[in-house]
Structure 1
Amino acid sequence: MAAVFVDWLMHLFALDLGFFIDLVMNNLFWIFGFYAAGYLFTGGKHPIRNGIIYVLLVVVSMDMFGLVKFSIYTAGGLGLLYMLRVPLLLFLEKGKGTSKYIPLAWVLSFFFTIAVVAFMV
């Protein structure tokens, strides 16, 4: 299985504009889906930025799970992820000036859960 994120980075550093045009034109459904997710999950604030964060989260997690041959999508892993993420996101949502860190907290809680599950295996 090819590492998608690393492949994207190689094309980015090579300034391969044709690759990214082809990627966008062949995946319009997913682009609009992640844009919609970025819009809906954050109340319309910065949907492009948040959509890109969600895309990177999916792509990096696909590559990581392919390399290490385990997944957090088990009962214990999902339970830990949600028990960590819900209070953290509620705290950031209710705090003054902390709502701008919600996408970062979303991603970091995911990678923290991966690290915990990896050391438990």
Structure 2
Amino acid sequence: MEEQVDLAAYGLAVSNFIALLGAVTDLGIVKVDLILAQDGYESLAGAGSNVDVGATFSGLLAAGNGKRASIKLPGITASFVDPDASVPIVGDIAAWLAEFETAGPMMLSDGETVETWVRGTLDK
């Protein structure tokens, strides 16, 4: 997430993001933690982490000279998936992904934003 001016702005950005996420996943949202990380702290992924039934979206990075990035959406609502396992980037899906675009408040894990989303596919 981009740096916000105060805690209220962080709360608003998170609330908007959760509303958009809720529109595109069948998973319930149990709780939301906002963590403001300090530089120098790292964590390692545990065995079996990041295994989900969801969708992966790929896009071109802003100012990335053609480089691509991807993001996973866990528990995608089945109605968003076409019979060929593609996920059209329209409607609620496009709104959620727009949060990670250049003008949106969210960033990918490396602090990057996406210029254009290219495709979405169901994870198999």
Smaller-chain TM-score bracket? under 0.3
The structure carrying a bigger strand percent of its residues is 2
TM-score by length of 1: 0.27
TM-score by length of 2: 0.26
Larger relative contact order (CA 8 Å, sep ≥ 6): 2
